Amino acid sequence: MQVHAPQLILASASPRRRELLAQIGLHFVVQTADVDETPLPGETPAALVERLAILKAETVWNTRRGVLHTPVLPVLGSDTLGILNGELLIKPRDFEHARQMLRQMSGQHHEILTAVALATTIGVQRVVSRSVVKFRAITDAEILAYWETGEPHDKAGAYAIQGLGAIFVENLQGSYSGVMGLPLFETTQLLAVAGIHTL
Ligand SMILES: Cc1cn([C@H]2C[C@H](O)[C@@H](COP(=O)(O)OP(=O)(O)OP(=O)(O)O)O2)c(=O)[nH]c1=O
């Protein structure tokens, strides 16, 4: 088996982000950043998602720099959240919270924002991907059955487009990988600026 030197550090505990980066053939190591994801008073969703992606990337960048005292690999951080009627769709706290979000999303359009930040020696570059997702009508019985699969528990908006949640998605305008947690088009553009190429 050939061992590749890592090209970057992924500052994320999300298995989806790992899968997506691996899908485009990048070699990376994972170092997670445990950051406070609470919105600031009056913070817009777009400002929040961008701030959290930057915070995740910078937190890991600063830790690596402090420990190693040597040139550090670029660090990629990301954050995903949804918006419906101005309200945030985040990871559900419990079944009640998931039910409340999915009931609101039933038969409606919502927006998914994923921000990506790349920390390098020249500073932090970032980009935000926006997608609009239309859900079909969902019954309460379906919400309960879906919750019981476990899939919604750790996903923004309490669903996974890459999983069983796909059955609710009538239409998607935007980035499939962005909804899943890491928009690959935008990510490769950021990486190219840092000299990391996929082809
Ligand atoms: C909408 C949607 C979200 N998600 C996931 C992507 C993210 O992992 C998660 C949103 O939570 P995030 O806080 O963005 O990420 P995370 O806590 O999983 O990982 P980390 O902060 O360490 O990077 O929801 C899906 O997997 N599929 C979907 O369709």
Please write the tens of the pLDDT for every residue from 107-126.
999 999 999 999 999 999 99
Does some domain include residue 176? yes
Chain-centroid distance of CA 78 in Å reads 5
State the pLDDT at residue 69. Answer: 62
Domain total for the chain? 1
Instruction: Give the DSSP letter of residue 168.
Output: G
Does some domain include residue 2? no
- Which of 9, 16, 90 is the best mutation target for the ligand 1 pocket, counting ligand atoms within 8 Å of the beta carbon and taking the most? 16
CA distances from 148 to 68, 80, 91, 93, 184 (A): 44, 23, 16, 14, 30
Does some domain include residue 34? yes
State the pLDDT at residue 6. Answer: 93
Does some domain include residue 199? no
Model's pTM, two decimal places? 0.96
Stretches in the chain below the pLDDT threshold 50: none
Closest CA to ligand 1's atom 19: 14
Does some domain include residue 125? yes
Closest CA to ligand 1's atom 20: 12
User: Residue 130, exposed/middle/buried by CB under 10 A (0-12, 13-18, 19+)?
Assistant: middle
CATH number, domain of 168, equals 3.90.950.10
As for ligand 1, residues whose beta carbon falls within 6 Å of it are 12-14, 16-17, 32, 78-80, 91, 112, 154-157, 159-162, 165, 179-181
Residue type, 31: Q
Does some domain include residue 131? yes
Does some domain include residue 1? no
Cβ atoms of 56 and 117 within 8 Å: the answer is yes
- ipTM value, please give it: 0.96
Q: What range defines the domain where residue 28 resides?
A: 8-193
Radius of gyration of the chain (CA): 17
Does some domain include residue 57? yes
State the pLDDT at residue 185. Answer: 98
